[in-house]
Amino acid sequence: MRGIAEDEKGQIYFSYYNSIHRLNPKTGELKLLPLRNDFLNAPFGLAYYREALYTGNGIRIDLNTGKVDTLLKGPMTDQGVLTVDRSNQLWLGNQHKLYQYVPASRSWKVYRDQAGILDTFPYNISYLHEGQRSGALWIATVENGLYRLDRTKKTMEPFPPKITQLRHPRVLACYEDPNGVLWVATAKGLHRFDLVNNQMEIIGMPEGLHNDFINGLLPEGDSCMWVSTDNGLVRIRMEGRKLDHFFQEDGLPANEFNRISFYKARNGRFYFGGLNGIVAFFPGAAFQKERRKQDGRLLLTYYSKLDGQTQDMVTQLQGVAPEEGIRLSYKDKLFTLGFSLADFANPREHLYSYMLEGFEKDWSPASPSTMPGTTTSPPGNTCFASGPRTATTNGAPTTSLSRYSSNRPITRAPGFSLPARWWSSAWAIPFPATGCTPSANGRPISKSRCG
């Protein structure tokens, strides 16, 4: 599912690959538009404009006659996006070009800024949005953040001024509210820029998101922001920055959502498109989830290593006792640690994130798996940290956080250390006496591997 648009009657259009459907929200009737057999829209955007649908690859579909015209010739990438601004001007961004629609001739005209930046623009356009306070046309790119276009002066400048202010240069969507707050959805978190007070904030996995590849965003008034990700839908409450996560078990057709597949209808209904269709709802306080206290400890339940001397696999299945230690030689090439959460109230809701501190900069995407990927331990102090997140728990994975560091262990959770240059000397992994016990059933639930 990709582009979403709405006509004057409030009918909603959904675009995907070789067809377009029309939804009557009042009756719930869904109809397939009769199009020619070779119609192909791929993951292009969709817009409604003057009794016709326009696609991001330059196609015009007359809704009265059903006639399909190709207005742009030549090869098109799947990044084509459209928007209609408040002056009723239709815009198209495809590859490195920005186009204006000319209704009189039913054609697209290449837009040129005063300095000629767009003439040799090297970046692929990924999204277009007209700011509500600034009036600027925001041009998002795949490779280099945002650009702000002043259509009155025909001037264009990059935003933010330093691309390093974004955790990732790829921007998938943006939204500027009437107060001058610009929300930027990137491949690594949601960025909030206060354009009036020159302030910035980032909401990503370190701040509590289960997944920070942000595909779309829609505002719920000025109190909440909804974002679609590669793993679930999130409602961000502005007050306190509380997060409500939603997954398939909450009724979503799929956990993974698509880019350029989100829309707020004139009647206030939200639409988010994903792998298995569209989720549609009216937002509000009814979606606020109560935070459930996480009482269970995260326990180490399994340990094994490939003995570098004998090439035998050494395994310990009964968990790691607090008074014991794990000793690795520089010849040991890999080891495996399994962990589980001693909370059995809603085990299907448990999601975990982990990271190698000192080596990896970000938490892994939250998932039900407790099997971290194999990696090579880098020189210097390295620390493995893992923590649970549940579908009803907000914030970063700090509750029952297991953190394993080369300094003194965290008193609230078990720990081990990976000293500098561990491959050149034998070293011991000490465990504190808090929480390091076998799981309730005495056998490993899963494995985590690093090496």
Q: Bin 180: left if φ > 0, else alpha if -120 < ψ < 50, else beta.
A: left
Quick check: is 356 in a domain? yes
**Domain for residue 142, yes or no?**
yes
Is 248 a domain residue?
yes
Q: Give phi and psi for 54, each to the nearest 5.
A: -120, 135
Helix (H) or strand (E) run with residue 14 in it: strand 12-16
Among the candidates 287, 310, 328, a domain finishes at: 287
Contact (CB, 8 A) for 366 and 210: yes
Q: What domain range is 83 assigned to?
A: 4-287
Give a yes or no: residue 395 inside a domain. yes
> Could you say which of 267, 287, 307 is where a domain stops?
287
> Do 43 and 155 share a domain, yes or no?
yes
- Same-domain status, 320 and 281: no
Nearest Cα residue to 150 out of 163, 165, 166, 131: 131
Which one, of 23, 18, 19, lies nearest residue 263 by Cα? 23
Cβ-proximal residues to 393 (8 Å cutoff; 6+ apart), any chain: 291, 292, 294, 399
Phi, psi of 348 (to 5 degrees): -70, -15
The answer to whether residues 243 and 237 touch, using CB atoms and an 8 Å cutoff, is yes
Residue 60 confidence (pLDDT)? 94
Parallel, antiparallel, or unpaired for β 298-306 and 277-281? unpaired
Residue 293 lies in a domain: no
Q: What is the pLDDT along the chain (451 residues), one digit of tens a residue?
A: 789 999 999 999 999 877 899 999 999 999 999 887 777 777 689 999 999 999 999 999 999 999 999 998 877 777 799 999 999 999 999 999 999 999 999 999 999 999 999 999 999 999 999 999 999 999 999 999 999 999 999 999 999 999 999 999 999 999 999 999 999 999 999 999 999 999 999 999 999 999 999 999 999 999 999 999 999 999 999 998 999 999 998 889 999 999 999 999 999 999 999 998 899 999 998 888 765 555 556 666 667 778 878 888 877 665 555 555 566 676 776 777 676 666 555 555 666 666 666 656 676 766 666 655 444 444 444 455 555 554 444 444 433 333 333 232 222 233 333 333 333 333 333 333 223 222 222 222 233 333 3
Rounded CA separation 117/45 (Å): 24
Distance CA 155, CA 157 (A): 7
Predicted pLDDT at 267: 95
251 inside domain: yes
pTM for the full predicted model: 0.71
Q: Which CATH number goes with the domain that contains 162?
A: 2.130.10.10
pLDDT of residue 48: 98
Distance CA 299, CA 343 (A): 10
Domain boundary among 248, 268, 287: 287
The sheet carrying 97-102 orders its strands as 81-84, 90-94, 97-102, 107-110
In a domain, 26, yes or no: yes
Answer yes or no: do 212 and 74 share one domain. Answer: yes
273 and 313 share one domain: no
- Residue 310: predicted pLDDT: 85
Looking at the structure, do residues 26 and 80 belong to the same domain, yes or no?
Answer: yes
Answer whether residue 292 is part of any domain: no
- Whether residues 444 and 310 share a domain: the answer is yes
Q: What is the pLDDT of residue 300?
A: 66
Query: What Cα–Cα distance (Å) separates residue 169 from each residue in 30, 126, 182, 200, 334?
Result: 38, 12, 16, 16, 34
Two tokens, residue 153? 């002066």
Looking at the structure, tell me whether residues 89 and 170 fall in a common domain: yes
Q: Is residue 209 within 8 Å of residue 243, measured between CB atoms? A: yes
3-state helix/strand/coil string of 381-406: CEEEEEEEEECCCCCCCCCCCEEECC
Domain shared by 280 and 369, yes or no: no
* Overall residue count recorded for the chain in this entry: 451
In this prediction, residue 249 carries a pLDDT of 87
pLDDT at 395: 41
| Sign of the CA dihedral with 354 first, then 359, 362, and 367 last | negative
User: Do residues 334 and 305 touch, judged by C-beta distance below 8 A?
Assistant: yes
Strands 257-264 and 270-274: antiparallel
232 plus 110 within the same structural domain: yes
Number of separate domains in the chain:
2
